[in-house]
Amino acid sequence: MIRYFSNIWQSITTLLIGMRITLVHLAKARKGIVTLQYPEERWPRPERNIGFSHDSYNVIRSRLHVDMDDCIGCLKCERACPVDCIHITTVKVEKGTDIPEANHVGITSYGTQKRLLVTRFDIDMSECCYCNLCVYPCPEDCIFMTGGPNSSKQEIDYEFSEFNRSDMIFRFAKVPKDQVEKYTPPPKEKVKGDVAG
Amino acid sequence: MVDLLLQKFSEVSFLSGMPSALLFVLAATLIALPLFMFVAVNALVAVYAERKISAFMQDRLGPMGQGVGLHAGKWGLLQTVADAIKLLIKEDIIPALADRKLFILAPFILFVGAFIVFVGIPFNQHILVADFNIGVFYIIAMSSIGVIGIIMAGYSSNNKWSLYGAMRSAAQIISYEIPLALSLITVIMLVGSLKMQDIIIAQHGLIWGILPNWFIFNNPFTFIAFFIFFISGVAEVNRTPFDLPEAESELVAGFHTEYSGMRWAFFFLAEYANMFIVAAMTSIIFLGGWQSPIPGFLNGPGWGLFWFFSKAGFLIFVMMWFRWTFPRLRTDQLMQMCWKYFLPFSLINLLGVGLWDLWLN
């Protein structure tokens, strides 16, 4: 009989304890929520200390970026790429002159006079293996991993996700679409080293 | 209310020539349509509230969105609308080996069992479809029709999980009907009437000068009866601490495993209608129905609706609170709770209320 009533007492008190916990969580709903509404909200990027200056080392190899105003179309990065995810097409133009309708700047920030107009500079990031090998040969330091030595030029996009797979192909060439045909050479004189296609 | 409408119809010239049977059907439809709308809207609101409350209790956000057209609207307000559209356009599957006729009929019987109860529920002083002199008895009897629908669904699905769920549900509903009815009888003994409005009017005034004269505060026995009634009611509608008939972790989805689309939605609609009925019955019988907590204060017909819905809404919230706090009972625990704890206590209650009424009044 004592057990019978102690059972009742125990069940009532323990149930009330449980109900108090859920009610407290409901009342504090504004403060304690752990859900992050991902595309709209993001966790802050943690500061990382690797023991030496970030300027000389790629802290994060988050994504490749090309500064097209500095690109001279030398194809060194395309040749360095072990998975062939960089595709470049170039056209010979007058040395060191600006072509405003193709958004072409004649002289790079290092002072080099450009001989080639880059009509296509595609990087398929779904194939990229983040080896960073394309970064070292670049004579103008215009291709880099965001988060690396040139991170001040491009904001770090660490989530690096797209809704569509075709959006993973990043097209860096600045020549407008309607101008591309004008600069496309006839098939015979195809520029050497164009392995794209 | 049907009689009132028929009287109104006889005054309209172009309706007076029609046969009386047709006029009766017209009047009944005119009353049933708003009630059906109410049941559907109740389910829409309750589903949204349940998702949000459960989310907040678990430190989540629940359905969220950044505006119309994006995800589910501001604060996920369109979530249940999206759910309803999804259910409407889903494929309606009837298993090849199912008992076709019973399978099709089952969700409607369950829903009708829930819907027909609304005839007897007084929303305020005037809004009441029919004030039977056996109102409480009618509601208890009609709400038991639902179990037939559940057994039909379980049997006709030709699926062991469905049958297990249906059998559990039958055992559970029949068991919990007894403490439920016995707790009701305590109140009926004090009122001396089965009429819903009489029960509410009997709760007018104050008790000990401070508390409203609701039956929950009337005497210690009705206080216990309130809890037995409410918990048995939660068990009757198969809500979570007692959701053995649809226990996801054991029986897939219980008696509605084989249902999809709109037929499944009817089970869902019936569940939320039943939830509202239990909350409404508890608030009418123990919490004064449409009576204001302070007698004579804000007690008009409009405020009557407000008080009724706030009491019922609070009890629905408590049911959701139960659901997201308590783990499911085992079958033997469920039966033990009913037969070893609720039944003796409701019998003692019955005796106690009788003696209290005899000696103190």
**Residue B57 C-alpha, separation from nearest chain A C-alpha, in angstroms:** 5
Pick the closest to residue B115 from B22, B51, B42, B200 (CA basis).
Answer: B42
Among A89, A83, A85, A56, CA closest to A71: A89
Which of A22, A32, A40 comes nearest B321 by C-beta?
A22
CB atoms near residue B21 (< 10 Å): 8
Q: Of all helices (H) and strands (E), which one includes residue A88? A: strand A86-92
Give every residue of chain B whose pLDDT is below 50, as ranges: none
Q: Which of A3, A26, A35, A40 should be substituted to probe chain B, the one whose Cβ sees the most B Cβ atoms within 10 Å?
A: A26
The answer to whether A36 faces chain B, any CB pair under 8 Å, is no
Are residues B343 and B178 in contact, defined by beta-carbon separation less than 8 angstroms? yes
pLDDT band at A173, cuts 50/70/90?
confident
- Residue of chain A whose alpha carbon sits nearest to that of B66: A40
Q: Which of B207, B175, B117 is nearest to B329 (CA)?
A: B175
Give the whole-angstrom CA distance, residue B214 versus residue B219: 10
Yes or no: say if A92 and A114 are a contact pair by the CB < 8 Å rule.
no
Distance (Å) from the C-alpha of residue A165 to the closest C-alpha of chain B?
A: 21
Which residue in chain A is spatially nearest to B241 when comparing CA positions?
Answer: A15
pLDDT higher than threshold 60 for residue A190: no
Chain A residues lying within 8 Å of B325, measured CB to CB: 15, 18-19, 21-22
Q: What is the pLDDT of residue A187?
A: 62
- pTM over the 0.90 mark: no
Residue B64 and residue A37: Cβ atoms within 8 Å?
yes
**B321 chain-A contacts, CB cut-off 8 A:** 19, 22-23, 26
Q: Is B321 within 8 Å of chain A by CB?
A: yes
The whole-number pLDDT of residue B317 equals: 92
What is the model's pLDDT at position B347? 92
- B327 — contact with chain A (CB < 8 Å)? no
φ, ψ of residue B232 in degrees (nearest 5): -65, -35
Report the pLDDT value the prediction gives residue B229, as an integer from 0 to 100.
Answer: 92
Residue B53: which of A19, A26, A37 has the nearest Cβ?
A: A26
Burial, B66: exposed, middle or buried (Cβ in 10 Å; 0-12, 13-18, 19+)? middle
Chain segment A10-39, per-residue pLDDT in tens:
989 999 999 998 888 888 877 777 877 776
Per-residue pLDDT, A197: 47
Are A35 and B326 an interchain contact pair (Cβ–Cβ within 8 Å)? no
For A17, the closest chain B residue by CA position comes to: B325
- Across the strands, what pairs with A121? A88
B286 min Cα distance to partner chain A (Å): 20
Tallying the residues shown for chain B, one arrives at: 361
Which candidate, B113, B92, B115, places its Cα nearest to that of B260?
B92
- Whether residues B57 and A22 touch (CB distance < 8 A) is answered with yes
Token reading at A63: 């994504």
Cβ atoms of B35 and B118 within 8 Å: the answer is yes
**Chain A within 8 Å of B333 (Cβ-Cβ)?**
no
> With b meaning 16 or more CB within 10 Å and e meaning fewer, what string describes B81-118?
eebbeebeeeeeebbeebbeebbebbbebbbbbbbbbb
Instruction: Using a CB–CB cutoff of 8 Å, tell me whether A33 touches chain B.
Output: yes
Residue A124: CA count within 13 A, CB half-sphere: 13
Chain B contact present for A18, CB below 8 A: yes
Q: Hey, what are A14's tokens? A: 């323990």
Closest Cβ–Cβ partner in B56, B340, B341 for A25: B56
Note the pLDDT tens digit of each residue in A114-159.
Answer: 888 888 888 888 888 888 888 888 888 888 877 655 566 666 666 6
- Nearest chain B residue to A35 by CA: give it: B60
Chain A residues with CB inside 8 Å of B340's CB?
4
User: What's the whole-number average pLDDT of chain A?
Assistant: 78
Tokens of B127: 């809004």
Distance separating alpha carbons of residues A22 and B325, to the nearest angstrom: 6
Q: Does B53 touch chain A (CB under 8 A)?
A: yes
How many Cβ pairs within 8 Å bridge chains A and B?
38
Q: Which residues of B253-269 are buried (b: 16+ CB within 10 A; e: fewer)?
A: bbbbbbbeeebbbbbbb
Residue B305: per-residue pLDDT: 86
* Residues shown for chain A: 197
**Does A24 contact chain B (CB < 8 Å)?**
no
Whether chain A has a CB inside 8 Å of the CB on B64: the answer is: yes
Distance in angstroms (rounded) separating the CA atoms of residues A17 and A152: 54
A174 — pLDDT class (breaks 50, 70, 90): confident
Q: Which of B59, B66, B242 to mutate to test the interface with A (most CBs of A within 10 A)?
A: B59
**C-beta of residue B179 within 8 angstroms of C-beta of residue B342:** yes
- Distance between CA atoms of residues B25 and A46, nearest Å: 70
Task: Report the largest interatomic distance among the alpha carbons of chain A, rounded to a whole angstrom.
Answer: 104
pLDDT single digits (tens) A81-90: 999 889 888 8
